[in-house]
Every structure is written in C-alpha cells, then in structure tokens.
Amino acid sequence: MRAAAAVLCLLLPAGCAAVQPGAGTTPAATAAVDLVAARRAAGIPDCPAATSAAPVAGGLPALTLDCLGGDAGLDLASLRGPLLVNYWAQWCLPCRQEAPHLAGLAKDRPELDVLGVDYGDPQPGLAIEFAQLAGWTHPHLEDPERLSAGPVGVPGIPFSLLLDEHGRVVARHAGQFDTRAELLAWIDEGLRG
C-alpha cells in the first residue's frame, strides 16, 4: 500500500507540470518541433500578409508580432476590419471556456475576420494543439513576452477587440464571453456604432 502511494506521489507532480506555463520548456525542445508544419497540419491558416498600411487614429499601435510558429511577422497597425482580435492562452481556463463560441464565427458572421493572439504562453506547441482541438480555423499571432500589454492595453486574458473597416478599435471586451449569443450581440453592437 505504501509503495502504491509513493508511486502516486511521484506521478502526480509530473502530470501537473505538463500543463503549467513554462514547465518543461527548453529552447532545444521547442526547436525540435517544426511549429509552422504543426500549425498547418492542425488546419490553422497562415497569418494575413503584411501590408504597409499606416497606423490610424483610434487603431492598434505599430507593434509587430510573429505568426504562431514564428514564420512571419505582422504589424498590428496594418490590421483592418471588420476584425475580431482575441487574446488567449492554452493554459487559461476562461479562454478554454469561451473557445467554442469563437469557433463558429466564420459561419455566423462570414463578413467578420478573426485573428487570435496567443498571449503570455511559453509553449507554442501546446497552443497549436489547443487551437486545433478548439476547432479554430482562423490565423493566430504569438506574444509570449506580453509586448502588447501596454501599447494595446491588454488587462488580462481572455481579451477581445473589434476593429472596423478603417482599422479603428470600436469595442473592447475584458473577460470571457459566456455564450455565443453574448459574443454575437457584442459584435453587432460594436459594428453598428
């Protein structure tokens, strides 16, 4: 009986470490995985092509973030809408709870583009796996160092922004969307205003 308890005590921490941010992450482990190939295999599209669009008043700042997997960069100031930008991380429980509401947006609002930002997440491989399991078919940027916290005003995650066709931020939402209806109402209200 004591031997079984000892084995259980040894196994439990190892299982928990696998889901904690930063646990088991080494440059060598990350380099061993081709994250771009993993992203594409997961059905997650490449990021939008970079443009030379100038920053607009009321828009996002000139800040370049890499596409999830690190193969390209995108300047946030070049983004135009209608576009929903959602900050998330695979280790964030509220992000996981709202994930299904974001998954069906292409069907519910085909005129709206969606862009995810994997935020404060040291394990991009797990982020790609989570995005695939969530059924997300939109592109994602990565911000592991939380560079957009100050310039964008990210208070924590999940956090969503809505951009109009001119690139102006027309709505902000801190916290998770509890239902798809809540998310759709927020989008409709933001794009009407």
The answer, yes or no, to whether residue 3 has pLDDT greater than 90, is: no
How confident is the model over 91-119, as pLDDT tens digits?
999 999 999 999 989 888 999 999 999 99
| In the predicted structure, residue 17 carries a pLDDT above the cut 60 | no
CA distances from 94 to 16, 89, 99, 166 (A): 19, 9, 9, 30
pLDDT tens digit sequence for 26-40:
443 444 469 999 999
Cα separation, 37 vs 133, whole angstroms: 16
Residue 86 has pLDDT above 60, yes or no: yes
pLDDT in tens, 128-180: 999 999 999 999 999 999 999 999 999 999 999 999 999 999 999 999 999 99
The token duo for 30 is 């990350």
Residue type, 123: Q
Q: Look at the domain 26-192 and name its fold.
A: Glutaredoxin (3.40.30)
Whole-angstrom distance, CA of residue 153 vs CA of residue 49: 24
Rounded Cα gap, residues 160 and 157, in angstroms: 9
| pLDDT value of position 33 | 62
What are the sequence ranges of the domains in the chain? 26-192
Q: Are strands 113-119 and 140-143 parallel, antiparallel or unpaired?
A: parallel
Which position has the higher pLDDT, 186 or 11? 186
